[in-house]
A and B are shown apart, each in its own frame.
Chain A
Amino acid sequence: MDSTTETGRRATAASSAPPAFPSSGSEPPAIELRGISKAFGPVQANKDITLSVARGAIHGIVGENGAGKSTLMSILYGFYRADAGEIFINGERREIHNSQDAIAAGIGMVFQHFKLVENFTVLENVILGAEEGALLRPSLARARDLLTTLAAEYELSVDPEALIEDLTVGHQQRVEILKALYRKADILILDEPTGVLTPAEADHLFRILRNLRDEGKTIILITHKLREIMDITDTVSVMRRGQMTATVKTAETGPEQLAELMVGRKVLLEVEKTPAHPGPAVLEIEDLRVTDESGVDRLKGISLQVRAGEILGIAGVSGNGQSELLEVLGGYRNASGRILLNGIPLDLSGRHSDGQSRRAAGIAHVPEDRQREGLIMEFAAWENIAFGYHNDPKYQKNTLFMDNRALREDTRQKMKHFDVRPPIPRLKARNFSGGNQQKLVLAREIERNPDLLLVGQPTRGVDIGAIEFIHKRIIELRDQGKAILLVSVELEEILSLSDRIVVMFDGRIMGERIPAETDERELGLLMAGVQNGETT
């Protein structure tokens, strides 16, 4: 009796559910998705996605922004409900309607933006939602014990009593992983985990992930950094426009092939540039100091030079004074010290210390945070193109009114030059993709033909195809003999674009290097404040 029902069940399971991506062993895959589709209004975010991830593997998912990676993982974690399709966890069909279901199925997720309560302790964050009983004390005690074990097992040490807001991002991320492990997650999904980490922190994270895999956990890594995929994953899937375009073994592919699969055409990963021919110094900074509103010294005596026809890259973990440096140069933060532009001193704290005066002097600025400083998201593209240059005579109809028609025409031109898609001046900035928003800002600033271009994080959150384009335009500007100051937290970008690199740490310059004579490891040490093997 028992055996017949057993075989009956097995038979139906076998007939209705052929494995979509057969795993080598007899063990069912940790995760299997079949025909997942999800639409948001007219946008098909996921279209008939099929994916199978073997147990104990690190599986990478790559794709451009908006390719549907996050949507797919949100479906797996119960944030969204798929319009169609099935989810199998360890060979068992699961309905995942909310995060609780996902946790019950053994899935843990580390989001790109951490979901931590800042003024809670590590322990409180770990037990939140997974408490043992109505009273906190026993849960906290149990969690403390478990954290000690996990810390030793996976190199996941964090002070359990520390407040989240006092921890570095790297440690905060560990708390997120601990949260998942505390909930007995077998499958761990990480969404762009290295975006906020220093190279050393990223290495540490990868060690943790390898340890977890060796313990039999399954890991899904969502990233746009192909190098990470090559470094750590066992298998990789590529998504493009809501569809899964390929799933391959990492050992059998390379970054070029993955990039091509992501974008749908050949992409140049290496920036092509000729050696620089630097001219006279355009920007000279001497002993620049900034103290912020709360009395903290942000810049502690910066001196540097940028010459005509060269790109100076400033590397550093964000928050070490790079933003303040750009703000001072852009004219919206006061400072002491001396800045010369083409030999003429700039006003650093007086009446002419503002964006207008800086633009008039020949400085153009592509701010780090395009959505807050570069654009007004609710304004149309043509209105955004006017910002900072609204006094330009060619935009004026007469003394009272602006010539909106001319402005829109100018916008259309700029959009064409910079391949902004769609090229519709009336569209709100919000409705462009990240890469196109950035191209809009670049179009506004570069087309002014500045002597000095300040660029902050030019490719943050930008698609691989657009990155190629943006890098090309920056190098073109350099070749026209302009000076460019580039601030980026992406070491790869700094290394490939810059002609000289300075590393900032804690408001100071840690050192200067030539790209050809250094590597990520050395820069990473400088970024962490280690000079000649000594911590400062």
Chain B
Amino acid sequence: MEHSQNFVLFLVTLNQMITVSVVLIFAGLAGLFSERSGIFDIGLEGKMLISAFFAAAVSFATGNVWIGVLGGIAASMVFALIHGITSITFRGNQLISGVALNFLASGLTVVLGNAWYRKGGQTPTLSGDARFSEITLPFADALRDVPFLGPIYAEVISGHKPLVYVAFALVPLSWWLLYRTRFGLRLRAVGENPASVDTAGISVIRLRFVAVLIAGVLCGLAGAYLSTSQGAAFGREMTAGRGFIALAALIFAKWRPWYLLMATLLFGLLEAISNLFPNIDVFGLFTIPVQFTQALPYILTVVILAGFVGKAIPPRAGGEPYVKER
């Protein structure tokens, strides 16, 4: 069955949207867990970057992308642990700790990359088993001919790399964890009023460390996805502010998993459009320049952060170290 050109473009755009949303979903969920526990995490960016680098480096060294992903997660968790120690154990300023980690990641990846590969901060291109390949979901070919839904299943939903499906599965899982389990109840409580958790005889410190480390794992997945799934190597500053966009999406989503999915898909759509249609011709009258479409996600971020989407109330104890008081 032949599709019209517009329908094909539509499918390609949706496919791209999903591909580029994945990083934001991972990073957004990372921020969700951390901030729901009361620890602001401006260092999503840095954790993703360090993970992207180590995922690529370990994949290249071992030739196995799954080991590479573990390497990325480990690197990101080390960063998360530093953030936890400074902001939970030593009650430091969470924003400063996050900013410091971002700088550290930015410098460390380039220095190590230059030292190990001498390619201007790049890692060698990954190929074969050192990179993820696409999964074709069952019946993708058989259903291709079903009108409308068939091509969407085959072209948009099927044919992505494994981490894409992991990301999308994590959204309902996170929701369930937060709202249906004991752990989730305590996590949400500790971000709202840590004293309530403390007086109930539960360790605030341990809970917050768990949350921050979960954020580490998720940022690790985000970074590994960037360099071994979406790309095929690490490039300097390859996260390009996505950690901050994920934070914006998190605020947009009012710290809720399903809203977060919607927000990240919206940002993903904008990014996909700017990738696919650099210059949009408006009825032949004038052309919207590529710079504008590329800037759109960032502009939207600014608009959102300025509070144009209604009041987003952050977890009440967010950003404040917990000090026991009488």
Query: Would B196 and A117 count as touching, CB distance under 8 A?
Result: yes
Which of B179, B180, B202, B326 meets A129, CB within 8 Å? B202
Chain B proximity of A65: nearest CB distance (Å): 12
Residues of A within 8 A of B110 (CB): none
Contact status A79-B201, CB under 8 Å: no
- B201 and A128 form a contact (CB under 8 A): no
Contact for B181 among A74, A78, A111, A134, CB less than 8 A: A134
B186–A129 touching, CB < 8 Å:
yes
Contact with A along B174-212 (1 / 0, CB 8 A): 000001111111101100110111111110000000000
Q: Does B3 contact A (CB under 8 A)?
A: no
Closest B residue to A101 by beta carbon equals B201
- CB-CB contacts below 8 Å: A257-312 with B: none
Q: How far is the CA of A139 from the CA of B181 in the complex (A)?
A: 10
Let me know if A116 is at the binding interface, CB within 8 A.
yes
Residue total for A at the interface (Cβ-Cβ under 8 A)? 34
Q: How far does the Cβ of B175 sit from chain A's closest Cβ, in whole Å? A: 13
**Contact partners of B199 in chain A: CB under 8 A:** 77, 99, 109, 111, 115
What residues of chain B lie closer than 8 Å to A99, measured between beta carbons?
198-201
Interface pair A98/B182, CB less than 8 Å apart: no
Residue among B182, B184, B192, B326 making CB contact with A119, cutoff 8 Å: B192
- How many inter-chain residue pairs (CB < 8 Å) link A and B? 74
In the complex, the answer to whether B326 meets A74 with C-beta atoms within 8 Å is yes
Partner of A118, one of B186, B197, B316: B316
**Roughly how many angstroms separate A117 CA and B36 CA in the complex, as a whole number?**
13
Contact B192 A129 (CB under 8 A): no
- The digit string for A181-205, where 1 denotes a CB below 8 A from any CB of B, is 0000000000000000000000000
Interface residues in A93-135 by Cβ distance below 8 A to B read: 98-103, 109, 111, 115-120, 124-125, 127-131, 133-135
A130 adjacent to B200 (CB under 8 Å): yes
Collect the chain A residues with CB atoms within 8 Å of residue B197's CB. Answer: 128-129
Which B residues are in CB contact (< 8 Å) with A125?
196
Is A117 touching B192 in the complex (CB atoms < 8 A)? yes
A99-B200, A128-B186, A129-B186 known; A136+B193 contact, CB < 8 A: no
Residues of B within 8 A of A139 (CB): 182
Chain B stretch 204-250: residues in CB contact (< 8 A) with chain A: none
- Contacts A70-B326, A98-B201, A135-B180; is A128 near B196 (CB within 8 Å)? yes
Proximity string of chain A (130-170) to chain B, C-beta cutoff 8 Å, 1 when within and 0 when not: 11011111010000000000000000000000000000000
Bound-complex Cα distance A47 to B294 (A): 68
Q: Are A118 and B182 interface neighbours, CB within 8 A?
A: no
CB distance from B229 to the nearest CB of A (A): 32
The answer to whether the Cβ of A71 comes within 8 Å of any Cβ in the partner chain is yes
Q: Tell whether, in the assembled complex, residue B193 and residue A135 are in contact, meaning their CB atoms are under 8 Å apart.
A: no
In the complex the two chains form, what is the Cα distance from A63 to B186 in whole Å?
A: 36
Q: What residues of A have a CB within 8 angstroms of the CB of B179 in the complex?
A: 136
Residue of chain B at shortest CB distance from A120: B189
Tell me which residues from 82 to 103 in chain B have a Cβ below 8 Å from any Cβ of chain A.
none
List B contacts of A103 (CB < 8 A).
200-201
> Given known contacts A117-B192, A118-B316, is B200 in contact with A134 (CB within 8 Å)?
no
Can you list 28 A-B contacts with CB-CB less than 8 angstroms, sorted by A residue number? Answer: A77-B199, A79-B326, A99-B201, A102-B201, A115-B196, A115-B199, A116-B193, A116-B196, A117-B188, A117-B189, A117-B192, A117-B196, A118-B193, A120-B188, A120-B192, A124-B185, A124-B189, A128-B196, A129-B186, A129-B200, A129-B201, A129-B202, A130-B200, A131-B185, A134-B181, A134-B182, A136-B179, A136-B181
11 extra interface residue pairs, beta carbon distance < 8 Å, beyond A117-B196, A125-B196, A136-B182: A74-B326, A77-B199, A101-B201, A102-B201, A115-B195, A115-B196, A116-B196, A118-B193, A120-B189, A128-B200, A130-B200
